[in-house]
Amino acid sequence: MAKVLVVTSGKGGVGKTTSTAALGAALAQSGQSVVVVDFDVGLRNLDLVMGAERRVVFDLINVVQGVAKLPQALIRDKRIETLWLLPASQTRDKDALTEEGVGRVIADLRAKFDWVICDSPAGIERGATLAMRFADAAVIVTNPEVSSVRDSDRMIGLLDSKTERAEKGQRIEKHILITRYDAARAARGEMLSIEDVLEILSTPLLGIIPESEEVLRASNLGSPVTLNNVASAPARAYMAAARRLKGEDVPMTIPNDKKGLFDKLFGRRAA
Amino acid sequence: MSMFNLFRRQSSAPIARERLQILLAHERSVRGQSDLLAVLREEILAVIEKHFPIERENVQIKMDRGDAVSILEIDVEIPNSAGLLRSA
């Protein structure tokens, strides 16, 4: 049965789009059929992170308004054939989305895919509330930093009150995904620890994505990090998170990029 | 200050954690309250409207939270033209 997942955070720049692309690709790499849907109308970026920016013809707004049919707007990934993208519009604004229209599109996507992953815009306005509206589960992307944790708490409140499931009295599955985590700084007491964040938000953990150069490298190249360098630390962390989403019991670890003596001595290397 | 402290900056994470705990405890209580107040407001308005017409902005509903007791304050301004008080 299809599962609708919203990737949300409240705060901008914490890694929603990166995480949507990486989790979507990881699920698709494991054989599931996946569509990633960009809800950031007016500021779309999922197409760019996925490397499909030159293939966008129709978008979510066109489908919601009936200008285009769903299959016309869906873009198939060139690397994994079970991975699809439904882009947002770059020229319209978020008011072009209606609840009824979004509900129809999500219902159509449910019939076609195993996973529908909605990339929420930042903030708590229409785009963000519509992205979560029909979700069965939510991934709340959080940086170990005060403003991000506070915004995550706010999003948890909205998920528990404004989603269709919440209004029907059903439970919405919530997961915290901690990104940009620096284990060494946390150990020195310079960064909130995983335990701190989980205790404050009292929501279960989906995964810990370590701070890594690989994330920027992958987005530079227009490839989800799980595809661009499967062996990298963030890719392994996203792969493990995707398996947990599927209900597998995967031990929680914080992968790190192994550095040889040469890297340690000379630091950076060219992309 | 010992030599040890000179080389060791005070860790900031415990401060972040404490600030967040205090802030979120407050924000969560306000969040629940504003929802409850909105619901109460609508229900109280509906009850009053059954009996006479009112201007919605003339109804004030406030909740003062105290440690031992909280006070729910409802202020309804009724225009004399409503005819309610004259018939009494």
A94 has pLDDT over 90: no
Residues of B with CB below 8 A from A200's CB?
Answer: 17, 20-21, 24
Contacts with A, B 12-51, CB within 8 Å: 12-14, 16-17, 19-21, 23-24, 27-28, 31, 35
Q: Could you read off the pLDDT of A40-86 as tens digits, one per residue?
A: 999 999 999 999 999 999 999 999 999 999 999 999 999 999 999 99
B4 has pLDDT over 60: no
| CB A178 within 8 Å of CB A144 | yes
CA distance B65 to chain A (A): 21
In total, chain A counts a number of residues equal to 271
Burial of A38 (0-12, 13-18, 19+ CB in 10 A): buried
d(Cα A224, Cα A242) in Å, to the nearest integer? 13
Note the pLDDT of residue B3. Answer: 56
| CB A229 within 8 Å of CB A235 | yes
Residues of A with CB below 8 A from B17's CB?
Answer: 192, 196, 200
Note the pLDDT of residue A52. Answer: 97
Contacts with B, A 140-179, CB within 8 Å: 145-146, 149-150, 153-154, 157, 161
Name which of B10, B11, B27 to mutate to probe chain A: the one with the most chain A Cβ atoms within 10 A of its Cβ: B11
| A–B CB contacts, 8 A cutoff, strictly below | 38
Q: What angle do CA B81, B82, B88 make, to 5 degrees?
A: 105
Q: Could you read off the pLDDT of A129-182 as tens digits, one per residue?
A: 999 999 999 999 999 999 999 999 999 999 999 999 999 999 999 999 999 999
Q: Which of A150, A153, A189 sits opposite B11 (nearest CB)?
A: A189
d(Cα A43, Cα B77) in Å, to the nearest integer? 47
Range with the poorest average pLDDT among A66-75, B9-18, B33-42: B33-42
Residues of A with CB below 8 A from B24's CB?
Answer: 150, 153, 200
Mean pLDDT to the nearest integer, A92-120:
94
Note the pLDDT of residue B86. Answer: 54
The answer to whether the CB atoms of B24 and A186 lie below 8 A apart is no
Residues of B with CB below 8 A from A186's CB?
Answer: 13
ipTM: 0.83
Q: Which of A153, A154, A189 sits opposite B13 (nearest CB)?
A: A189
How high is the mean pLDDT of chain A? 93
Burial of A219 (0-12, 13-18, 19+ CB in 10 A): buried
Contacts with B, A 31-70, CB within 8 Å: none
d(Cα A102, Cα A96) in Å, to the nearest integer? 10
Note the pLDDT of residue A270. Answer: 47
Helices and strands in chain A, H and E counts = 14, 8
